[in-house]
Amino acid sequence: MASFLSRRKLLQGLGASAAALPFTGNLASLGAGESSGQRKRRLVVMFSPNGVVPWNFWPDEAGELSAFKESLQPLEPFRDQTLIGKGICNKVRGAGSAHMVGIGGLLTGCELMPGNLKGGSGPSAGWASGISIDQEIAHFLQSQPETRTRFGSLEFGVMVPERADVWTRMSYLAANRPATPINDPYQMLRKFYGQVEDRKLVGSLLDDVLDDLRAVRSRVDSQDRRILDDHATFVREMEKELRQAESDGAIGSERPELEPGVRADDIPRLSRMQIDLMVHGFAADFNRIATLQFSRATSGEKLKWIGVDESHHTLSHESDDNTEVQEQLTQINHWYCQQLAYLAKRLSETPEPGGEGSLLDNTLIVWTNELGKGNSHTRNDIPFVMVGGGLDFKMGRSLKFDKVHHNRLLLSLAHGFGHHIDEFGDPNFCGDGPLTGLS
Amino acid sequence: MVLLCLFAGLPVSSKADDPQQVTGDLDRGQRLFAQQCARCHGDEGQGDQDFYPEPLQGDHRVSQLFEIIERTMPEEDPEACIGQDARDVTAFVHDRFYSEAARQRRAAARIELARLTVPQYRNALTDLLQSFQKSAEPEVEQGSGGLHATYFKTRSLSGKDKVFERTDPVVDFDFAAGVPDPAEDFDDPEEFSIRWEGGLFVEQTGRYELRLYSENGVRMWVNGPDQAVIDGWVRSGDQTEHVESIFLLGGRTYPIRIDFHKRNDPTAAISLRWEPPGGVVEPIPSQHLRRGKFPRLFVATTTFPPDDRSVGYERGTRVTKDWAEATTLGAIETANEVLRDLESLAGIAKDDSDDERRQKVISLCHEFVARAFRQSLDDDQRDRYVTRHFDDEDALEKAVKRVVILALKSPRFLYPELGLEGDVVTATRLSFAICDGPPDAALLEAAGKGELSTPKQVSEQARRLLDDPRGRAKLRAFFRYWLQIDVPHDLSKDSEQYPEFTPQLTVDLRRSLERFVEATVWSEASDFRQLLVSNTIWVNQRLADFYGVDAPDGDLFQPVVFEQEPRAGVLTHPFLMAAFAHRADSSPIHRGVFLVRGILGRTLRSPPDAIELVDSSLLPNMTTRQRVEQQTKPDTCQNCHRTINPLGFALEHYDAVGRYRLGEAAGTVDASGEYQPTRGDPIEFSDASELSVALSEHEEVSRNFVERMFEFLIKQPIGAYRAGLLDELTDEFVASDYHIRDLAVRIVSSAIASNER
């Protein structure tokens, strides 16, 4: 392994090592970008379903953010790092119901394909016809050595049904190619560390393998010993390489411990575990882009842990006059906002490795939804609540736009990463380019 | 068009390590070596204690060796041996003692300790895991191929909406805007669903590209209920083809299920296609679809470096670092599979206590290691490989993982005969020789009861295993090797001359050859001579149309007797005729070399010079035979071509796509000639038919066939066994009326009997 040392050097600071090489082969030059003065930038898109209760959500005034309405109260500690944009509309039309287009067009900015799925009225539909912005930016970052990471992007899910259809998919690798969010934190942890663990385990067994070879060696004649000796040499080489990696301290370092045996219906705990893993992945620079999807469009989840025993979707159809239900809907969004706040908190507590400030200072979280409001199914005033300093936006403000296309916000996100594309999704919705007034 | 040296692209494997680029005069090289080199290196390159004690052996290519010698030798005066001198010395050194081939030649043949070959390794893991499954035995429904289909009148695929059931030979339907069967009771052409279930049988190991085409919603599971390999339940845009590739082990049948539903779509269509290794995209033929229930099989997908094939057949007498690393990855992959299925493998019940769980898992591990090593473990081994890993209060799963990895990294698993004693050695040798896999339960039981001690008992077991799917798969693989079917041939032809010779047709041809061999081998007589003289060719409709015989229906292959023209079994089979031919012309040289090396088992040196061969377009007035005769006229060519050419010319009645012809543009075909065997009288013949009759009972051909089969099955040189074994086996082969399956049984029995190491 002639290049072992140099590769090892490159891997330092990643929490990985030669033993992790099978999956870090593409890390050509970590650190180069940072040393050239560019800070790391990250994006998290968080999704929750079925619209919001507008009067309990949107600030009354544009301008400096002086106070939050009830749904957004959990964000109070991060008020000066929050940016709220009202008046941003998902104008994508075509095949599919409001919910379907709401989620399928949310990050893609384009229509659904015609297909065999029908929801409500309107022509039946298939998958989105283009890539989503998170994946677009991830491709861009992966295309350059200085921003390339092990995974590029990670898709986290919480209570996303194990079913691939338009309602359950937000992120698209390309037209017709939805990305599957990982619901199970244990699976995510295996994705992070499974191979390293395996290698470590193999390393601890190699002495036994050598003993074994020695024992059988005595039973064959001298000419046949050659093949066993060759074999033993390779085992010893492997042992040496693994020991080298271990002495670098990379194996087994910093691996997060997950509480074992958490049940698949313990949503609050799973949500925290997923967020903890997301923060860990950012700290280890496994990825710069992540999505965190709660349930699905048209979610019928009952959020019993906050005392809501009725299906979210059913509740969201109730009229504005039903104050009891509107309060429940407000509480539902309040709980989702708590998850956002927990993510912001964990990011803010984690220092930027090798950089300045906290992870939150270099991350933009965008919390969004497939609808503006549940009972009208409007896709005007789609909630876009942004937290963190990832993209040089000017935070601590509430903005009011005049019915702008959400494609322009998607463009702003790309431009925030230095990816200066002129159009994204449906070009008809990209006039005037990125949104003005964000930074 | 000018063709560069034929041999550059000659698709035949050479037994020698052919010198490339550097050729020299061996005799002159020997003289120069004696003068300039022998003082330090010894007369035979064996080395000299005072000067250079190491023997002159290595694995540099001849061109590299030449470069070293020219640049550095002799040490005291490197200028003394350069240019042609260095070339001659290199040729001599390489040919006489340096190369692997030379060392093999010089060393007396011996039975070498061998690890599992890659196919054996994969089979061993699949069988090992399979042996723990409760529903290990497939339930095969008799009858011809196809899948069981159930049709429903809603999209629900639920029993209450069932309309009818039937067997569909292939899944390839276009229902347009209608229902699957208007005579049946469907409510509404707007909505219905179908489920196909059964087995997918594959012959060859490799990556299969599965393609499910549909205008509607479809899902497909292959080899396991866990996750659909294809999930196209959402039909979207014009995405009508779903492609997924999957690695499958040959000779096995995997469970397959396809769910289909139509809803909100104007029309309905579905087609189950694949691209098998080396094949073309086609609907999966009914021969590969089976009705019945089949268990999921574990298939290790870890990539392995190819086995050493330097002596012609694959064998496991060498280890490399990448092989050692692959065995680690394979062990990890298997350990994960065991963990995935731990509850069921260990027979854990829901209400088992932690301690019961632990005990069940430990006994599973004991059994796992014992089966992996093909022996029962003594107390020391039980502790060493299993029990002590459970000492820590570590998670159970981690201990299981340690046990599995340690067992599968152990030489006792990787070298199938190491550490074994008694009848289990016989069982192991027998099974790996016949099936390329470990002994099954019945064989181990026989060994345990002492019922593998007489030659008769061994033969009976060998016969039983030969008929096992694994045994059939290995025999099939042997014929692919012997007839060079698995060499990547380029069968594409000149599209103006042969516009109907499509890639699909070349795949059909390969199947035709394989079906013919299969049918012959498994017929009662199992007569080797039929392989060489039969005038039957297996054809489907496409082949029948192309070769001008009466067509059977559809894709099914049927044997058809070619009454109108002479045919000689595999020797004139259109697959091999097309494989050993140029794009527009036949190639007597390729065909002749195939006969000389492949069928007669003679060795040929590589051609001394690169020769430019001219094709028919430049010499339009000469027949192919005349052209080849002219171009191979020089004495240096004739050393080999006096043997090669007449045999190749014998096949001149078959053009570049294997069609029979009486003549070409430049004249009638002359297929007559003479072959001089190494022993005995010359064979005279007027065409391929006559030649094939003579060859079918010729001792040279039988002997070669016996030796090739021996090497392929046993994976050791026959010379390493009892003296005279090849003669005996050949005599017995002849005496049995050339019975192919009997030969396989005899080879394995005799190798076991004479291998008392």
As a residue count, chain A comes to: 439
Place of tokens 């104008």: A91
Q: Which residue type does A169 have?
A: R
Q: How far apart are CA A404 and CA A413, in angstroms?
A: 15
pLDDT at A11 over 70: no
How far apart CA B530 and CA B696 sit, in angstroms, is 8
Whether residues A165 and B402 touch (CB distance < 8 A) is answered with: no
Looking at beta carbons, which pairs linking B176-184 to residues 24 or more positions away fall under 8 Å?
Answer: B176/B267, B176/B268, B176/B269, B177/B266, B177/B267, B177/B268, B180/B151, B181/B151, B184/B151
Distance CA B560, CA B603 (A): 35
Check CB contact under 8 Å for A201 and B402: yes
Please tell me which residue of chain A has the smallest CA distance to B385. Answer: A208
Quickly tell me which residue has 């929750």 as its tokens. Answer: A48
Torsion of CA A332, A335, A336, A340, to 10 degrees: 160
Question: What average pLDDT is seen over chain A?
Answer: 87
Instruction: Estimate to the nearest angstrom the gap between the alpha carbon of A186 and the chain centroid.
Output: 16
CB contact under 8 A, B234 and A115: yes
The residue in chain B having the minimum alpha-carbon distance to the alpha carbon of residue A22 is B329
Nearest to residue A359, comparing CAs of A369, A351, A368, A367? A351
| Residues belonging to chain B with any Cβ–Cβ distance to chain A shorter than 8 Å | 110, 112-113, 115, 216-217, 231, 233-239, 262-265, 317-321, 324-325, 328, 331-332, 384, 398, 401-402, 405-406, 409-412, 415, 418-419
CA-derived radius of gyration, chain B:
30
Contact B688, B702 (CB under 8 A): no
Whether residues B324 and A231 touch (CB distance < 8 A) is answered with yes
Contacts of residue A198 in chain B, CB cutoff 8 Å? 332, 401
> Which residues of B are less than 8 Å from A212 in CB distance?
409-412
Q: Could you tell me the residue ranges of all domains in chain A? A: 70-183+287-299+334-433
**Contact B220/B252 with Cβ under 8 angstroms?**
no
Distance CA(A219)–CA(A238), nearest Å, equals: 25
**DSSP for B332-350, written as a single string:** HHHHHHHHHTHHHHHT--T
B384 contacts A125? CB cut-off 8 A: no
Q: Which residues of A fall within a CB distance of 8 Å from B234?
A: 115-117, 126-127, 164-166
Q: What is the pLDDT of residue B48?
A: 79
- To test the contact with chain A by mutation, choose from B227, B230, B236 the residue with the greatest count of A C-beta atoms within 10 A, namely B236
Give CA–CA dist B580/B640, Å, rounded. 18
Q: Does A198 touch chain B (CB under 8 A)?
A: yes
What phi, psi does A157 have (nearest 5°)?
Answer: -130, 150
Contact A223 B112 (CB under 8 A): yes
* Nearest CA among A282, A224, A204, A235 for reference residue A15: A282
Copy the structure tokens of residue B197. 């279930």
Whether omega for the bond prior to residue B55 falls within 30 degrees of 0, making it cis, is no
Q: What is the model's pLDDT at position A29?
A: 36
DSSP B538: E
CA distances from A37 to A10, A31, A439, B544 (A): 18, 10, 20, 72
What is the Cα–Cα distance from A405 to A109, expressed in whole angstroms? 9
* pLDDT reported for residue B11: 32
> Would the CB atoms of B113 and A116 count as touching at under 8 Å?
no
Beta bridge partners of B674: B684
Neighbours of A29 (CB within 10 A): 11
Please report the pLDDT score of residue A14 as a whole number.
34
- pLDDT tens track for A264-320: 889 999 999 999 999 999 999 999 999 999 999 999 999 999 999 999 999 999 999
**Predicted model pTM:** 0.79
Closest partner residue to B234 (CB to CB) among A165, A231, A235 is A165
Assigned token pair, B131:
């042996």
Question: Chains A, B: CB contacts under 8 A, how many?
Answer: 110
Residue A410 near residue A424, CB atoms below 8 Å: yes
Task: Specify the pLDDT at position B608.
Answer: 62
Question: By C-alpha distance, which of B290, B249, B279 is closest to B144?
Answer: B290
Q: Note whether A127 contacts B: Cβ–Cβ < 8 A.
A: yes
Q: Which residues contact A98 (CB under 8 A, 6 or more apart)?
A: A120, A370, A371, A377, A378, A379
Instruction: Judge: B418–A205 Cβ closer than 8 Å, yes or no.
Output: no
Amino acid found at A352: E
Q: Which are the contacts of B720, defined by CB distance < 8 A and separation ≥ 6?
A: B109, B110, B111, B112
Mutate to test the interface with B, among A198, A221, A296 (most CBs of B within 10 A): A198
Using the Cβ of A114 and the Cβ atoms of chain B, whether some distance falls under 8 Å is answered with: yes
Integer distance in angstroms from the first to the last C-alpha of chain A? Answer: 49
Element (H, E) at B62: helix B62-72
Distance CA(A305)–CA(B371), nearest Å, equals 50
**DSSP code for B308:** B
Contacts of B158 (CB under 8 A, 6+ apart): B152
Q: Does residue A183 register a pLDDT over 80?
A: yes
Q: For the residues of B544-594, what is the DSSP string, one character each? A: HHHHTSPPPSTT--EEEE--SS---GGGG-HHHHHHTB-SSSB-HHHHHHI
DSSP-assigned letter for residue B169: S
SS3 labels along chain A: CCCHHHHHHHHCCCCCCHHHHHHHCCCCCCCHHHHCCCCCCEEEEEECCCCCCHHHCCCCCCEECCCCCHHHHHHHHHHHHEEEEEEEECCCCCCCCHHHHHHHCCCCCCCEEEEEECCCCCCCEEEECCCCHHHHHHHHHHCCHHHCCCCEEEEEEECCCCCCCHHHCCCEEECCEECCCECCHHHHHHHHHHHHHHHHHHHHHHHHHHHHHHHHHCCCCHHHHHHHHHHHHHHHHHHHHHHHHHHCCCCCCCCCCCCCCCCCCCHHHHHHHHHHHHHHHHHCCCEEEEEEEECCCCCCCCCHHHCCCCCHHHHHCCCCCCHHHHHHHHHHHHHHHHHHHHHHHHHHHCECCCCCCECHHHEEEEEECCCCECCCCECCCCCEEEECCCCCCCCCEEEEEEEEEHHHHHHHHHHHCCCCCCCCCCHHHCCCCCCCCCC
CB B298 within 8 A of CB B339: no
Q: How far apart are CA A167 and CA A297, in angstroms?
A: 5
Query: Where is mean pLDDT largest: A2-6, A136-140, B2-6?
Result: A136-140
- Report the pLDDT averaged over residues A92-117: 93
Q: Closest residue of A to B399, CA-based?
A: A201
DSSP letter at B479 equals H
Q: Quote the CA–CA distance of A117 and B264 in Å, as a whole number.
A: 7
DSSP string, B250-283: TTEEEEEEEEEEE-S-S-EEEEEEEE-TT---EE
CA distance A216 to chain B (A): 7
CB contact under 8 A, A227 and B318: yes
CB neighbours (10 Å) of residue A183? 19
Is-contact B580 B587, C-beta < 8 A?
yes
pLDDT for residue B611: 66
Question: Which pLDDT band holds residue A381 (cuts at 50, 70, 90)?
Answer: very high
What the block records as the tokens of A249 is: 């301290």
- Mean pLDDT, consecutive 10-residue stretches, chain B (757 aa), reads 34 37 76 88 81 74 81 85 89 82 68 94 96 78 86 93 95 95 90 96 92 95 87 90 93 96 93 91 93 93 86 86 91 94 90 91 96 91 93 83 96 91 91 95 92 93 95 95 88 92 94 96 97 96 93 80 94 97 93 94 71 74 93 82 95 97 94 89 95 96 96 92 90 98 96 71
The pLDDT of residue B486: 83
Q: Return the structure tokens found at B521.
A: 């081998």
Q: Using a CB-CB distance cutoff of 8 angstroms, which residues of chain A are in contact with residue B264?
A: 115-118, 124
Measured between alpha carbons, how far is B15 from B717 in angstroms, rounded to an integer? Answer: 13
Which is nearest to A112 in space by CA: A59, A90, A100?
A100
Give the closest-approach CA distance of B200 to chain A in angstroms.
26
| pLDDT tens column, A35-75 | 445 899 999 999 999 999 999 999 999 999 999 999 999 99
Strand partners, B258: B196, B220
Concatenated DSSP letters for B449-476? Answer: TTTT-SHHHHHHHHHHHHTSHHHHHHHH
